[in-house]
Amino acid sequence: MLNKDTRILIVGLGLMGGSYAKALKRQGYVVGAITRSQETIDYALANGLIDSGSTVPSQEAVGSYDLVVFALYPHVFLQWIADYQKFIKPGALLTDVTGVKGSVVYRVQEMLRPDLEFVAAHPMAGREVYGVRNADCGIFKGANYIVTPTKTNTEDAIRKVELLGETLGFARISRLSPERHDEMIGFLSQLTHCIAVALMTCKDVEHMSAYTGDSFRDLTRIAKINDEMWSELFLLNRDELLSQIDMFTGKMDELRAAIADGDTETLRELMRLSSRRRTFFDK
């Protein structure tokens, strides 16, 4: 667990920032917030998610926190660091929840004041709803948390960010390089969102709900997607995502050929491999 005296600032009180705040307040930490809308702050204060909050970054609102968590869109995050890092307490530790790493982590670290340290992390949790009103620290339970340190990071700071993951309740905490993270997430998360969107848009399906089973529902749960956030994340991981898409569509072509040829043995072999591998992902 993080030291109980750690004062934590959440920048960006959306679903994820709000869920962080909720989990940390519950554990007794002092939690502050910077977010765009006063209404969000009022809600978070009234519901005990934060101790204080402000819509404007300032020395007063930012300067007393030991750990700052950024839960912003990537471009907003980068701009925030450029504009407001001057307010951050000397020696503070910074982390984030951003879904891509290679195109963000190094840029933040390059522009950061030398007395601050940024260790990036990616909580592999989420929901298809948005905003602080849906904050839910239950989403961390049983979930994975990936820390993506670079060579410039200190072991002490990396360890603290891992402790944050433990404190939030994540089940498995891993370390990956930013590049390996982006490859992994390009496949496990971005490709799956592409598939869900393609499946939902390739055909006029609005009259089909009377005929569907659970498989179609499961494959398209994530087709409800925040278009602003995900289009940004896709493009920030473009090359990796393109190669993951190509790998997947290549395998679809192989499956298609086996069906076209009536090649039962190839089909069954792919299905058996698929069944075996899926057991690794049972929760």
Residues 99-158 that bind its own copies (CB under 8 A): 124-126, 143-144, 146
Q: State the minimum distance, in angstroms, from the CB of residue 226 to its own copies.
A: 8
Task: State the Cα–Cα distance between residues 266 and 257, nearest whole angstrom.
Answer: 10
**208 touches its own copies by CB under 8 A:** yes
User: Using CB under 8 A as the criterion, what x/- string covers residues 159-178 for binding its own copies?
Assistant: -------------x-x-x--
Residues 59-78 that bind its own copies (CB under 8 A): none
Q: State the minimum distance, in angstroms, from the CB of residue 20 to its own copies.
A: 16
DSSP annotation of 234: H
**187 touches its own copies by CB under 8 A:** yes
DSSP annotation of 89: P
DSSP annotation of 271: H
Q: How far is CA 64 from CA 11, 108, 110, 213, 276, in A?
A: 14, 21, 23, 53, 51
Backbone angles phi, psi at 140, to 5 degrees: -85, -20
> Token digits for 166?
């433990």
Q: State the minimum distance, in angstroms, from the CB of residue 275 to its own copies.
A: 5
Stretch that binds its own copies, among 36-44, 105-113, 156-164, 250-258 (CB under 8 A): 250-258
Stretch that binds its own copies, among 76-84, 129-137, 154-162, 184-192 (CB under 8 A): 184-192
Residues 6+ apart with CB under 8 A from 105: 118, 120, 148, 150, 178
Nearer to its own copies, 86 or 224 (CB): 224
Single residue of 81, 93, 97, 185 touching its own copies by CB under 8 A: 185
Q: State the minimum distance, in angstroms, from the CB of residue 34 to its own copies.
A: 26
Stretch that binds its own copies, among 14-22, 30-38, 80-88, 222-230 (CB under 8 A): 222-230
Q: State the minimum distance, in angstroms, from the CB of residue 74 to its own copies.
A: 13
Nearer to its own copies, 111 or 247 (CB): 247
Q: How many residues bind its own copies (CB under 8 A)?
A: 90
Cross-sheet strand order for the sheet of 117-118: 52-54, 30-34, 7-11, 67-70, 93-96, 117-118
Task: State the Cα–Cα distance between residues 107 and 242, nearest whole angstrom.
Answer: 22
Handedness of CA 76, 82, 20, 183 (dihedral sign): positive
Nearer to its own copies, 67 or 194 (CB): 194
Nearer to its own copies, 151 or 283 (CB): 283
Residues 4-43 that bind its own copies (CB under 8 A): none
Q: State the minimum distance, in angstroms, from the CB of residue 250 to its own copies.
A: 7
Return the number of other C-beta atoms located less than 10 Å from residue 76's C-beta.
Answer: 14
Task: State the Cα–Cα distance between residues 278 and 133, nearest whole angstrom.
Answer: 34
